Amino acid sequence: MLLSLAAIVVGLAVLVWSADKFVEGAAATAKHLGMPSLLIGMVIIGFGTSAPEMTVSAFAAWEGNPALALGNAYGSNILNIALILGITAVIAVIAVHSDIVRKEMPILLAVTLLSGLLLWDGEISHWDAVILLVVFFGIMGWSIYSAMRGRQDALSAEVEEELASHPMTLKTALMWLAVGLVLLIISSRILVWGAVDIANALGVSDLIIGLTIVALGTSLPELASSIAAARKGESDLALGNIVGSNLFNTLAVVGIAGAISPIAVADEVLTRDFPLMLAVTVGLFIMAYGFRKPGHLTHWEGILLLSMYVGYTGWLVYAVLSP
């Protein structure tokens, strides 16, 4: 048990660190190769922040634990909105100014409903996974096309500033790209082993471990970046990161895991986890979209989101402890 706990702690620490280095190396490499800053921000950094969820879920599915992959994706979505945005809104009111966020929120809601339809037969099959991945790449293509036409200079400027603050030669960038990728794979495998071993020792399901320990660990990059954005007065950026991350988790993370191995959907997912994921997504849509006036998340709404996460965690603990 102690070895498994150590594997989780070390795996999570290396996973978060290596994901950061992978993103830095990939972004700097792309810049050296002449890729526009806007595309670096949307594609490389967007993919990179969800790299922990993707690698952990892929290895979980590959090693015969697809329920862990599903729990990781859905648990991360719930945690991103209820815990991370809740904390961010408590620190600073999140005013929604970005047109990108206002366009992506309805898409996230539609994608969440699509995932629910695919779950309802009790399995994420290979064909379901294909549908999720096709929708994902379609949305990515549309987002890139729309952004390039609209010339989203704010995002380009932000990426330029980030790259300027961490200058790298091409050789150094390629080194960190390779090191980050290798460590992502190794740490993901260590984390999955530790999580499955603890689940077996405690007699709980892979799903519960994925919804809690693994989801929290793989969401650490979003938590850190959202709190940093809130403290800088850029809380709108935190909302954009969370919306993008949830889109990625729902479509790409579950899609990749389902393509590797079909995922049997437990009854608890249909009666507990998916309904809550849908509820917090609908709640975020209502709060952030604003309809007749610019939307915002207030301090009290942040407290409400945090309360929902605490209640959900208590529900999971009760499910584990009850006979």
The per-residue pLDDT for range 200-226, each reduced to its tens digit, is 777 778 788 888 888 887 777 777 777
Rounded Cα gap, residues 188 and 193, in angstroms:
9
Other Cβ atoms closer than 10 A to 110: 12
- Measure the CA–CA gap between 196 and 202, rounded to whole angstroms: 10
**Residue 34 contacts by C-beta under 8 Å, 6 or more apart in sequence?**
none
**Closest CA relative to residue 55, chosen from 108, 3, 14:** 14
Task: Work out the number of other CB atoms within 10 angstroms of the CB of residue 9.
Answer: 14
How does DSSP assign 28-54, residue by residue? HHHHHTT--HHHIIIIIIHHHHTHHHH
pTM score: 0.82
Roughly how many angstroms between the first and final C-alpha of the chain, as a whole number?
A: 22
Q: Which residues contact 147 (CB under 8 A, 6 or more apart)?
A: 38, 42, 100, 155
> Cα(3)–Cα(287) distance, rounded to whole angstroms?
43
Predicted pLDDT at 161: 60
Element (H, E) at 69: helix 66-78
What does the pLDDT read at residue 26?
74
Q: What is the pLDDT of residues 148-205, one digit of tens each?
A: 665 554 555 555 565 566 677 878 878 887 888 788 778 877 877 888 788 777 777 8
Q: Which residue segments constitute the domains of the chain, with CATH numbers given?
A: 50-152+191-321 (1.20.1420.30)
